[in-house]
């Protein structure tokens, strides 16, 4: 007789006592996809920031002579570096805050019932462990995939990264231009510039 279904039923019943419910698989996949999307969004802004700062003007000038329109826009971004770096900082901040807010809650809701499978039945203990694991997991994903990896890629290959990403950054800049203007004016006022 196969005892695995009985074990699974018992674990499910005990998990129900630890957490209100198990999320359906599609909900879990949706939560994991949201976390991945927010990490990718953060990585996008980090790559934009480092590539536009690192790209050499001589490389852009050579491409401009060939008629490359993307190079023209990257040169425009470099000419207005303060504004576009503020856009990247706003994007990084928004993505990071959303990742912390959504990611931690999502992972806790996934981990909390799963802890009953390893015989942690106390709601308080399961919640505490799930929060600690979720925080550690989100922090790892954010630093490695949302910050360090895109930074190294952008620094190693600034021209191709800048050529591919600057148009999207330009769209973000246009969409958030009033907020970026307000943030820049506020920081300049505080710094008496």
Phi (first) and psi of residue 66, to 5 degrees: -85, -5
The Cα–Cα gap between 90 and 35 comes to 19
Residues 15/114, Cβ–Cβ less than 8 Å: yes
For the chain, the structural domain boundaries read 25-104+146-181
DSSP secondary structure, 90-159, as one string: HHHHHHHHHIIIIIHHHHHHHHHHHGGGGT---HHHHHHHHHHHHHHHHHHHHHIIIIIHHHHHHHHSHH
At 83 the three-state DSSP class reads: helix
Give the residue with greater pLDDT, 10 vs 44: 44
For the chain, the straight-line distance linking the first and the last C-alpha, in angstroms and rounded, comes to: 78
pLDDT value, residue 10: 59
pLDDT value, residue 103: 92
The Cα–Cα gap between 107 and 126 comes to 13
pLDDT value, residue 20: 55
∠ CA(46), CA(107), CA(139), 5° rounding? 35
Per-residue pLDDT tens over the stretch 107-150: 988 888 888 888 887 888 888 999 999 999 999 999 999 999 99
Residues 90/121, Cβ–Cβ less than 8 Å: no
The Cα–Cα gap between 142 and 97 comes to 11
Using the predicted structure, report yes or no on whether residue 186 has a pLDDT greater than 60: yes
Per-residue pLDDT tens over the stretch 86-98: 999 999 999 999 9
The Cα–Cα gap between 93 and 109 comes to 24
pLDDT value, residue 13: 55
Closest to 86 in 3D by CA, of 191, 177, 189, 193? 177
Per-residue pLDDT tens over the stretch 19-77: 556 778 898 899 999 999 999 999 999 999 999 999 999 999 999 999 999 999 999 99
Residues 47/155, Cβ–Cβ less than 8 Å: no
């Amino acid at each position: 007789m196969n005892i695995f279904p009985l074990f699974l039923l018992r674990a499910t019943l005990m998990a129900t006592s630890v957490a209100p419910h198990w999320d359906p698989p599609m909900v879990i996949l949706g939560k994991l996809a949201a976390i991945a999307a927010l990490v990718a969004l953060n990585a996008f802004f980090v790559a934009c920031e480092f590539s536009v700062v690192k790209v050499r003007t001589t490389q852009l000038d050579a491409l401009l002579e060939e008629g490359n329109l993307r190079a023209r826009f990257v040169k425009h971004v470099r000419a207005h570096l303060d504004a576009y770096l503020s856009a990247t900082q706003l994007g990084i901040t928004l993505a990071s805050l959303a990742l912390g807010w959504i990611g931690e809650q999502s992972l806790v809701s996934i981990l909390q019932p799963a802890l009953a499978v390893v015989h942690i039945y106390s709601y308080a203990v399961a919640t505490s462990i799930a929060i600690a694991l979720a925080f550690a997991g989100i922090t790892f994903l954010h630093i490695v995939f949302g910050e360090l990896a895109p930074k190294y890629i952008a620094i190693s290959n600034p021209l191709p990264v800048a050529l591919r990403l600057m148009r999207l950054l330009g769209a973000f800049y246009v969409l958030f231009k009033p907020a970026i203007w307000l943030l820049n004016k506020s920081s300049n006022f505080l710094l008496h510039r």
